[in-house]
Amino acid sequence: MAEMEIRTDRRAGRMTFNRPEALNALSHDMVRQIHAALNQWRDDPEVDLVIIDAAGDKAFCAGGDIAAVYRAGLAGDHREGQEFFFDEYRMNAAIKDYPKPVIAFMQGFVMGGGVGVGGHASHRVVGETTRIAMPESGIGLIPDVGGSWLLGHAPGRIGEYLMMTADRMDAGDAIHAGFADLYIPEADWPDLIDRLAETGDARLLTGAQVPESRLAAADLSAFAADSTTDIVARLEAEGNDTALKPIRRNSPLSMAAGLELVRAAREDERLQDSLAREYRFTHRATEHGDFIEGVRAQIIDKDRNPNWTADASPQGVAAMLAPLGDAELHFDDQGGTR
């Protein structure tokens, strides 16, 4: 059975994540298939819109399938990860800039790579089971796949808060934070998808009343501090153990770099600028930084006890985010991989 079901259905191009047993984790091959389908349908007069959904009720896509990247990096092969992230980020940009409506129906867990697919669609639908997060700091990575762009454009200091804590957003939070557009009860999705495919008319999308967002009322002023160290100091002064608990588990380098990325993305006018900046970190992630140890602790051995050793000083962050020269992420020849 295909990991990604890609087909045309009347007036729609259809993509369905089809790895429910793996929470629809996004593999490198799936990345390539999504991008190829977008290119194929771009100028197809029979395709009026694109619908992205997922099999199973637990997850739209709970993240990238990074076990292969981990294994290759552990063996000294850093190209595997570099090529995966290179292709993935170009696919993310292709969704963002697509000339036809792209409608994502995001149930259950939507994390990391899943945000990179659904979070950049033109019409982002969430429901009662939706839980969206960017938990990369827990595996020694940074909020990538355009996550820094979404976090940077969230209201107030929500971006910094979500990056450092990896807190999960429900539908109301996701819409308030700018990660989604419409709340539609999930029981209504099958009929709506059928009508979208029949008509090719995205104007059929109308949301129900948006659930209340707890993030909208949260005091996140501590996350305006200049550095992660200062943020932690403010949270300690407030006695905010709820936020401090996940922060103390996460990679100090990842959070320090993530803070810089989110704040830089706030000034970006194009998703591509944020993606290119993210790629500087992820290009180096398997050779430097905490990624190998983070994946080992959270995904491979699952002891949940990472030993963070990477340099989280301003100099360490600068080294991870320095320009890559000829290896910089680019978006010319968007139709293929390098």
How far apart CA 12 and CA 53 sit, in angstroms, is: 12
What ranges in 2-100 are assigned the alpha helix state H? 28-41, 67-74, 79-96
Q: Give phi and psi for 131, each to the nearest 5.
A: -135, 110
- Give the per-residue pLDDT at 114: 98
- Give the per-residue pLDDT at 247: 98
- Give the per-residue pLDDT at 282: 98
- Give the per-residue pLDDT at 338: 38
**Residues 157-169 pLDDT 10s:** 999 999 999 999 9
Strands (E) located in the chain = 4-9, 12-17, 49-54, 59-61, 102-106, 109-111, 123-126, 131-133, 182-183
Nearest to 137 by CA among 115, 166, 111: 166
Positions of the chain with pLDDT lower than 50, given as ranges: 335-338
Nearest to 191 by CA among 95, 105, 101: 105
The single-letter code of the amino acid at 286 is T
Model's pTM, two decimal places? 0.96
Calculate what percentage of the chain has a pLDDT beyond 90: 96
- Give the per-residue pLDDT at 1: 79
- Give the per-residue pLDDT at 336: 41
- Give the per-residue pLDDT at 335: 45
**Residues 80-129 pLDDT 10s:** 999 999 999 999 999 999 999 999 999 999 999 999 999 999 999 999 99
8 A C-beta contact, residue 134 and residue 174: no
**Residues 211-248 pLDDT 10s:** 999 999 999 999 999 999 999 999 999 999 999 999 99
Domains annotated on the chain, with CATH? 4-327 (3.90.226.10)
- Give the per-residue pLDDT at 197: 98
- Give the per-residue pLDDT at 179: 98
